[in-house]
Amino acid sequence: MPLLGNLLQYRKNKIGFLSALRDDGHQLTRFRLGKHSITLLKKPEDLVHVEHRNAKNYQKATMLRDLVGDGILMSEGEKWRKQRRLIQPRFHPSSVTALESLMNQRITGFLHRMESEVAGSEGRLEIGLHLKKLSFEIILQALFGEVDQGDFDELRKPMEFVNSFLTARFNELVPLPLWVPLPRYLRFQRAREAIDQVIHRYIDRKRKAILDQNPGTDLLTQMILSRDPDSGVAMDDLQIRDETVSILLAGFETTGNLLSWILVNLSREPAALMRVREEIDSSIGRRIPDANDVLGLAYFAKVVDETLRLQPSVWAWTKRAVGDDVLGNVKISKGQILFLSPYLVHRDPGIWDEPSRFNPDRWTEETKEKTKGAYFPFGMGPRTCVGKHFAVLEAKLILVRFLQHFEFRIGEEQLPEPDFQITLGFKRPLRAAVRARRSAS
Residues 6+ apart with CB under 8 A from 296: 283
Residue 377 and residue 375: Cα distance in Å, rounded? 6
pLDDT of residue 147: 72
Residues 6+ apart with CB under 8 A from 265: 272, 303, 306, 307, 310, 311, 358
pLDDT of residue 441: 43
For residue 338, list its beta bridge partners: 39, 319
pLDDT of residue 177: 76
Q: CA triplet 274, 129, 148: central angle to 5 degrees?
A: 120
Q: Side chain identity at 439, as an amino acid letter?
A: S
**Residue 359 phi, psi dihedral angles, 5° rounding:** -140, 85
Q: CA triplet 300, 302, 306: central angle to 5 degrees?
A: 120
**Which of these, 95, 150, 139, lies nearest to 291 by C-alpha position?**
95
Quote the DSSP letter at residue 41: E
**Which of these, 206, 209, 232, lies nearest to 143 by C-alpha position?**
206
For residue 408, list its beta bridge partners: 434
Query: Which CATH topology does 67-314+353-436 take?
Result: Cytochrome p450 (1.10.630)
Burial 297-311 (b: 16+ CB within 10 A, else e): beebbbbbbbbbbbb
Spatial contact of 264 and 410, defined as CB atoms under 8 Å apart: yes
Quote the DSSP letter at residue 353: S
Residue 435 vs residues 287, 403, 412: alpha-carbon distances, Å: 19, 11, 18
Residue 223 and residue 243: Cα distance in Å, rounded? 9
Residue 386 vs residues 27, 93, 250, 342, 425: alpha-carbon distances, Å: 30, 10, 10, 17, 21
For residue 331, list its beta bridge partners: 326
Q: Where are the alpha helices (DSSP H) in 284-331?
A: 291-295, 298-310
pLDDT of residue 71: 59
Residues 6+ apart with CB under 8 A from 16: none
Strand order in the sheet with 28-33: 28-33, 36-41, 337-340, 317-321, 58-60
Task: Output the CA torsion 381→385→389→395 (10° steps).
Answer: -130
Residue 339 vs residues 181, 305, 346: alpha-carbon distances, Å: 30, 23, 14
Burial 166-203 (b: 16+ CB within 10 A, else e): bbebbeeeebeeeeeeeeebeebeebbebbeebbeebb
> Which residue numbers in the chain have pLDDT < 50?
440-441
Residue 253 and residue 152: Cα distance in Å, rounded? 12
- Burial class, 87, CB count within 10 angstroms (exposed 0-12 / middle 13-18 / buried 19+): buried
Coil, helix or strand at residue 31: strand
pLDDT of residue 180: 83
Residue 144 and residue 175: Cα distance in Å, rounded? 35
Distance, first Cα to last Cα, the chain: 64
pLDDT of residue 440: 47
Coil, helix or strand at residue 173: coil
Range list of β-strands (E), 129-191: none
